[in-house]
Amino acid sequence: MVNNGIVVALDIGSTCVRAVICERDDDGILKIMGVGSRPSSGLRKGVVVNIEATLRAVAAAIEDAEMMSGLEAHDCWMGIGGNHINGLNSRGVVGVSGKKRDSREREIGQDDIDRVIEAAKAVVIPTDKQILEVIPQNFKVDDQKGIRNPLDMIGVRLESEVHIITCTVTGAQNLIKCVNRAGFRVNELILQTLAAGRSVLTQEEMDLGVLLVDLGGGTTDALVYVDGTPYSTYTIPAGGSQVTSDISIIKSISLENAEKIKINAGCCWDDLLEDDEVVIVPGVGGRAPMTIPRSLILTIIKPRMEEIFKMIKQHIESLNLPRFLGGGVVLTGGGAQLSGVLELATDMLRLPARLGSPMPVPELGGLVDEYRNPSYATVIGLALEGDRRSNQDISQNTTDLRKREKQNTALIDKLRTWLKEEFL
């Protein structure tokens, strides 16, 4: 993969498509040069239901980012999420086959690490599923547990624990098809919550244990970190769109007006309301506008949000976590901007909660206040993670090239030695 210093990230959500174009400057800083955002109507609960509508939104969002940046996009790092994502933990065991130190001990090499991860990946998954991510959690060398990186350690037996994330084959293929038909190539699919965590979580929170909740339009995705690595991936088939639909049905207003009410006047925590606050809703078909008390809107929104957090709590309780989530809860996505959602999450999950906005980091520039909100957490994280993986690929290719050069040099030296012995 050629790294020309340009990184394009694409977040295709159920209600919005966002694109970001970044470029590495002379100081090695990845700078946000252009951002594009367009409404999305081609996905439902993270799955493509209308290819034409999705590819139009993708093309328009990337075109907006190109116009702002003055750069041309050819490929992108794309996020994937939704109801078809599943996660499981697995364990693998191999014997160390590295360089011998004595008759019993061997030195663990990269080949041993690769083999034990492959062994952990050997799980039975349905034929309609594919492995999206395999994330090492920790390693065990003989009887020593909790090792992050066993490279060059001495041992006989190597074990690994990994978190495996799967998605449906058709779900991934349809997303890639939409992007390809829009005229772009997908470098790699990256789990959206994993990308969001890359931009909003601190290392301290991940080490302590933290729950990341992405309140999207069609679904709510949760990712649990324990001891610095992902431990559980979970998706709830409900999100902001259901809240909008509830308001629309109960008050007999259009979805467009219901969405405006949710964004501008929605609330899910009683203490934040004033008694006399009202919302004016335009009339339908030439009828006079009507007024709705914000307290009435709260009685519509709050039960749905309570339902979402209740399902998250039930999932957390079912995990039998090895330690308390000392890092609390971090909320991202458009739904995280709903008034009172932090208070409700803290109350229902019994954990301290904060908003997950992209954080300024040394390797990222151009992060203006407009993008420092939970809605941009995933797409900014995709850019950071895409850049990291791109550099990792280049580093690996360089290492492989040097390894082949050494092997070739050793082979030539052996050939020269043999020729000298035979003919001189």
- 404 or 354: which leads in pLDDT: 354
Residues 6+ apart with CB under 8 A from 232: 87, 89, 163, 222, 223, 224, 315, 319
What gap in Å lies between CA 108 and CA 114, rounded to an integer?
11
What gap in Å lies between CA 131 and CA 86, rounded to an integer?
10
Model confidence over 339-384: pLDDT tens digits?
A: 999 999 999 999 999 999 998 777 788 777 778 889 999 999 999 9
- 305 or 280: which leads in pLDDT: 305
Please report, for the chain, the start and end positions of each structural domain, with discontinuous segments joined by +: 86-168, 203-358
Q: Which of 144-153, 184-193, 282-291 has the lowest mean pLDDT?
A: 282-291
Q: Which of 240-244, 334-338, 367-371 has the lowest mean pLDDT?
A: 367-371
The mean pLDDT value for 279-304 works out to 85
The mean pLDDT value for 307-316 works out to 95
CATH for the stretch 86-168? 3.30.1490.110
Query: CA 299: distance to chain centroid?
Result: 32
**260, HSE (Cβ side, Cα atoms, 13 Å):** 8
Q: Using alpha carbons only, how large is the chain's radius of gyration in Å?
A: 25
Residue 129 has pLDDT above 50, yes or no: yes
**206, HSE (Cβ side, Cα atoms, 13 Å):** 16
Question: What per-residue confidence (pLDDT) applies to 1?
Answer: 44
In this structure, are residues 185 and 1 in contact, taking their beta carbons and an 8 Å threshold?
no
Question: What per-residue confidence (pLDDT) applies to 398?
Answer: 43
CA angle at residue 193 from 272 to 133, to 5 degrees? 165
Question: What per-residue confidence (pLDDT) applies to 99?
Answer: 60
Residue 146 has pLDDT above 90, yes or no: no
Residue 284 has pLDDT above 80, yes or no: no
The mean pLDDT value for 53-75 works out to 94
CATH for the stretch 203-358? 3.30.420.40
Mean pLDDT for the chain overall: 88
Same-fold call for 86-168 versus 203-358:
no
- State what percent of residues in the chain have pLDDT above 70: 89
